[in-house]
Chain A
Amino acid sequence: MLKGHLDAIVLAALAGKPAHGYAIIEEIRRRSGGVFNLPEGTVYPALHRLEKAGAVNSDWTTAPTGRRRRVYTLTPQGRASLDHHRDVWRDFARAIDTMMASGDPGALLGDGPPWPTR
Chain B
Amino acid sequence: MADALEAYLDALGEALRFDPPLAVRVVDEVGDHLDCALAAELSGAGTDGGAEAALARVIVRFGAPQRIAGKFALLALESNADRLWRLAALTAAISFAVMRLRELHLDPVEAAGDGLAIASLALDRGAFIAALVLGLWGWRLARDARRSWRPDPRGWSRLFAGLRLSALALGALMLSVAADTALTLPRLIEAAEAVFWPAAALTVEIALVLALAIAVSRSREQAAAVRRLLV
| B25, B32, B35, B71: most-surrounded residue (chain A CB, <10 A) | B32
Q: Which of A58-80 contact B (CB under 8 A)?
A: 63, 65, 67-70
Taking a contact as CB atoms under 8 Å apart, the answer to whether B37 and A48 are in contact is no
Taking a contact as CB atoms under 8 Å apart, the answer to whether A52 and B32 are in contact is no
**A18 CB-CB contact with B under 8 Å:** no
Tally of chain A residues near chain B (CB < 8 A): 21
Name the segment of A7-15, A35-43, A97-105 touching the other chain.
A35-43
Taking a contact as CB atoms under 8 Å apart, the answer to whether A39 and B61 are in contact is yes
Taking a contact as CB atoms under 8 Å apart, the answer to whether A41 and B75 are in contact is no
**Which among A22, A42, A45 is the interface contact of B37 at CB below 8 angstroms?**
A22
Q: How far is the CB of B148 from chain A (nearest CB, A)?
A: 19
**B149 CB-CB contact with A under 8 Å:** no
Taking a contact as CB atoms under 8 Å apart, the answer to whether B32 and A63 are in contact is yes
Size bracket of the B interface: 20 to 34
For the complex, give the distance between the alpha carbons of A63 and B67 in Å. Answer: 26
B96 / chain A contacts, CB cutoff of 8 Å: none
**A49 CB-CB contact with B under 8 Å:** yes
Interface of A is mostly: helix
Known contacts A45-B71, A45-B72, A48-B75: A40-B32 contact under CB 8 Å: no
Taking a contact as CB atoms under 8 Å apart, the answer to whether A63 and B35 are in contact is yes
Taking a contact as CB atoms under 8 Å apart, the answer to whether B28 and A39 are in contact is no
Taking a contact as CB atoms under 8 Å apart, the answer to whether A52 and B79 are in contact is yes
Known contacts A52-B79, A65-B35: A44-B61 contact under CB 8 Å: no
For the complex, give the distance between the alpha carbons of A45 and B40 in Å. Answer: 23
CB nearest to A39 among chain B residues:
B63
Taking a contact as CB atoms under 8 Å apart, the answer to whether B35 and A21 are in contact is no
For the complex, give the distance between the alpha carbons of A42 and B33 in Å. Answer: 13
Q: Which of A1-41 contact B (CB under 8 A)?
A: 20-23, 25-26, 39-41
Taking a contact as CB atoms under 8 Å apart, the answer to whether B33 and A40 are in contact is yes
Taking a contact as CB atoms under 8 Å apart, the answer to whether B28 and A70 are in contact is yes
**B97 CB-CB contact with A under 8 Å:** no
Known contacts A39-B63, A52-B75, A52-B79: A44-B35 contact under CB 8 Å: no
Known contacts A39-B63, A70-B28: A49-B33 contact under CB 8 Å: no
For the complex, give the distance between the alpha carbons of A44 and B37 in Å. Answer: 14
Known contacts A49-B75, A52-B79, A70-B25: A42-B63 contact under CB 8 Å: yes
Known contacts A40-B37, A40-B61, A42-B63: A22-B68 contact under CB 8 Å: no
Q: Which residues of B contact A (CB under 8 A)?
A: 25-26, 28-33, 35-37, 40, 61-63, 67-68, 71-72, 75, 79
17 additional contacts (CB under 8 A) given A40-B33, A65-B32, A67-B35: A20-B32, A26-B40, A41-B67, A41-B68, A44-B26, A45-B68, A45-B71, A48-B75, A49-B75, A52-B79, A63-B32, A65-B35, A67-B31, A67-B32, A68-B28, A69-B32, A70-B32
Q: Which residues of A contact B (CB under 8 A)?
A: 20-23, 25-26, 39-42, 44-45, 48-49, 52, 63, 65, 67-70
In the A-B complex, the 5 residue pairs with the closest CB atoms: A41-B63, A45-B71, A22-B36, A68-B28, A41-B68
A-B contact pairs, 5 of them (CB 8 A): A21-B32, A21-B33, A42-B63, A68-B29, A69-B32
